[in-house]
Amino acid sequence: MTLGTHIGHVNAPSAHGTPPVLPDERRPRVGLWVPVLAAALLVSLVLAVGIGPLTVAPGEVAAVVHARLTGRAPAAGSTHDTVVWLLRVPRVLVGALVGAVLAAAGAALQAVVRNQLADPYLLGISSGASLGAALVLTAGLGSLVGAVTLAAGAFGGALLALALVLVLVGRGRGLSSHRLVLAGLTVGYFLAAATNLVVVLADSRDAVRAVTFWTLGSLGRADWGDLPVLATVGLVTLGVLVLRSRRLDAIGLGDDVARSLGTDPDRLRRQVAAVSALGVAAAVAVSGSIGFVGLVVPHLARRLVGATHRLVVPASALLGALVLVWADTLARTVLAPREIPLGILTALLGTPLLMALVRRRLRRPSVDG
């Protein structure tokens, strides 16, 4: 029996709460959501760039971007060019990439651990990045080693978290979803404690304030220099997760079913954990800790396209990009000139959505078990 046949006959969720995978003939138009979300994202990028203390019309935004991409020099003293190209375009693009990576990684991790309360920070990535950033900001590493920046320190800390998780899991042994979750939680708590210790021992109040603001999440530091690494790692992460989408469907049906379909569950969990960790590390290194995007957005994507991961992963990425672009726009404008930390805003917006989803699920015991 093929994977498609298996999936086509799954009309009830698993014991772990995985939503039912509906046959294509019952949801003939779900695939249309992906191009719709892509078009909405393109429009949102242009609109978000134009919103701020200095409002720029969409046509002017398009003209500035076109002029820059075609190599035409901006007019002398052009305020619109400076604001649009140097400040807002990189920030909006970084926000879109960060949101896409967090949401797609969240969808994939929820599949491999078969727990829809999982999110990209399950593997301790956020705690590791916070430790790296705290060391850079409080221990003077940036001045001791010129090549080490805040983003590099955060990225290194995130990779340290991944390495510790893989060491705890061990090689050559079965990798159950429970072991992966326990290893991630253990590493996350340990690195969070180490970060708090670094902050307590810091001599500079400014450094402590900077660490605190960074851990709350913000795109205020985003610039063109962040895009090459983030775009490369992020697009590779998204590509790998999309290519593994059918195997994610298989593992969602249980390890035994996945093996019968030719998928090694342990190997798939390691692959997804590693590539998700790398993508999230690159995102967190630029934006700090931004919660709820990777947790809530996959739930919303499944409501639009069903539970087939060839649609869930790209839909989650596009929806995550949309959510973070508009959340950041709100964060930098609603209390201007003050800026709300993005992590606080996503938590404030994401918590009611999560509560509504949980409440809706609990009201249908006969369907969701």
CB 230 within 8 A of CB 98: yes
Q: Please check the confidence at residue 16 and state whether its pLDDT lies above 80.
A: no
Q: Where are the domains of the chain?
A: 44-363
Rg (CA), the chain: 21
Q: Quick one: pLDDT band at residue 28, thresholds 50, 70, 90?
A: low
Q: Measured at the alpha carbon of residue 32, what is the angle toward residues 26 and 33, in degrees to the nearest 5?
A: 100
Q: Within the chain, where are the H helices?
A: 3-8, 33-50, 58-69, 79-81, 89-112, 125-138, 141-144, 150-169, 177-201, 205-215, 227-243, 245-252, 255-260, 265-287, 293-305, 309-333, 342-362, 365-368
Region 113-136: what's the mean pLDDT? 84
- Cα atoms found within 13 Å of the Cα of residue 151, Cβ hemisphere only: 17
- Mean per-residue pLDDT, 276-297: 90
- Does the pLDDT at position 1 exceed 60? no
Q: What is the mean pLDDT of residues 355-361?
A: 78
pLDDT > 90: what percent of the chain? 36
Query: What is the pLDDT at residue 297?
Result: 95
pLDDT digits (tens, 9 = 90+) for 175-196: 667 787 888 889 999 999 999 8
Instruction: Write down the pTM of the prediction.
Output: 0.85
pLDDT in tens, 312-324: 999 999 999 999 9
% of the chain surpassing 70 pLDDT: 85
82 pLDDT above the threshold of 50: yes
CB neighbours of 281 closer than 8 A, spacing ≥ 6?
125, 128, 129, 154, 155, 158, 159, 162, 233
Q: Looking at residues 216-227, what average pLDDT do you find?
A: 89
Q: Which fold has domain 44-363?
A: ABC transporter involved in vitamin B12 uptake, BtuC (1.10.3470)
Q: What is the mean pLDDT of the chain?
A: 82
Q: Which of 83-87, 204-208, 246-250, 270-274 is the least confident region?
A: 204-208
Q: What is the per-residue pLDDT for 26? A: 46
Q: Higher-confidence residue: 299 or 77?
A: 299
